[in-house]
Amino acid sequence: MFKILVVEDDKSQARLMKAILSHAGYEIHLAHNGTIALEILDQVHIDLIVLDVMMPEMNGYEFTETIRKSGNMIPILMLTAKQLTTDKIRGFQSGTDDYMTKPADEEELLWRIKALLRRAKEASEHILKIGEVILDSDAFTVTRIDEKQTLPKKEFQLLYRLLSTPDYIFTRLQLMDEIWGMDSESVDTTVNVHITRLRKRFSSYPEFDIVAIRGVGYKAVKNVE
C-alpha cells in the first residue's frame, strides 16, 4: 500500500483529504506544518507528498526546497488556493512535480497522484516513459516504437534530467553543475550546444519539446500524459 503524507494546516481540509485518499486505498499520514512533515519523513517511508503552500513556520515552497536540497526526489503535489501563474512557476522552481489549485476535482486529484506514483516507480527502475518514448538510463537509449537511438552519455543525462522534471526551469549553471560538475572546465555554451543537438535529434517526436527560457535556461514540456 502506498503511503501519502498530507501537509495541510487547515484541519477540515486535512480530514477531507485523508477521507478521499484513504477511500482510494492509500495509507495517509497528516502533518499541519512543514517542520512536523520533515520529522515524519525521517521516521516513515513515504511514497508521495500532497502539500499546501500557505502554512505557518515553513511554507510549501520552503519545504519543497528543503526536501530537494537534501537530495530527496519524492514526488510532491502542491495543492493550494494560489492561482496566479507566477505562483505556479515558483512552485515548479522550488522543485514540485505537480501543482493543483483548490478546490481540486477529486477524480483529477486521484489521477494525478496515480501518474506521479507511476513515474516515481519508473525512475527507480531507471526507465522514463513519455507516451511512446522510453528512456533507458542504463543503456543511454531513447526508443520510440521501432526506432532506437543510443545517445552520448552527457546528451542522454541532459535529456533525462529535463524530462524527469517537466516544466521545471533549469538555469544553465544548474545543468552544468548536475551534468558536468562544477569542477568541469566546460563553459555554459556547452549546454546550449547539447540542447541544440537534442532538439535536432527529436524534432519529429510529438511527445515533448525542449523550450528555451530567454535569459534563464531551459525546460522540457510534455505534450502527453
- The model carries a pTM of 0.60
Q: Does the pLDDT of residue 32 top 70, yes or no? A: yes
- Distance between CA 156 and CA 135 in Å, rounded? 9
221 vs 7, 11, 206, 224, CA distance in Å? 27, 35, 11, 9
DSSP assignment of 118-179 equals: HHHHHHHTTEEEETTEEEETTTTEEEETTEEEEPPHHHHHHHHHHHHSTT--EEHHHHIIII
Nearest one of 63, 105, 101, 103 to 79, comparing CA atoms: 101
Cell of 218: 531551459
What domains can you pick out in the chain, each with its CATH number?
A: 3-124 (3.40.50.2300), 127-222 (1.10.10.10)
| Secondary element (H or E) of residue 194 | helix 189-201
Average pLDDT over residues 152-181: 88
The residue length of the chain stands at 225
Per-residue pLDDT of 72-131, as tens digits, reads: 889 999 988 877 778 888 888 888 888 888 888 889 999 889 888 887 877 777 888 899
Cell of 43: 521516521
134 vs 6, 71, 141, CA distance in Å? 31, 24, 8
Cell of 153: 552519455
CB of 223 within 8 A of CB of 208? yes
Average pLDDT over residues 155-176: 89
- Distance between CA 19 and CA 49 in Å, rounded? 16
Interstrand relation of 27-31 and 3-7 (parallel, antiparallel or unpaired): parallel
| Per-residue pLDDT, 173 | 84
| Secondary element (H or E) of residue 89 | helix 85-94
Identify the weakest region by mean pLDDT among 1-15, 19-33, 167-181.
167-181
Per-residue pLDDT of 117-153, as tens digits, reads: 887 877 777 888 899 999 998 899 999 999 999 999 9
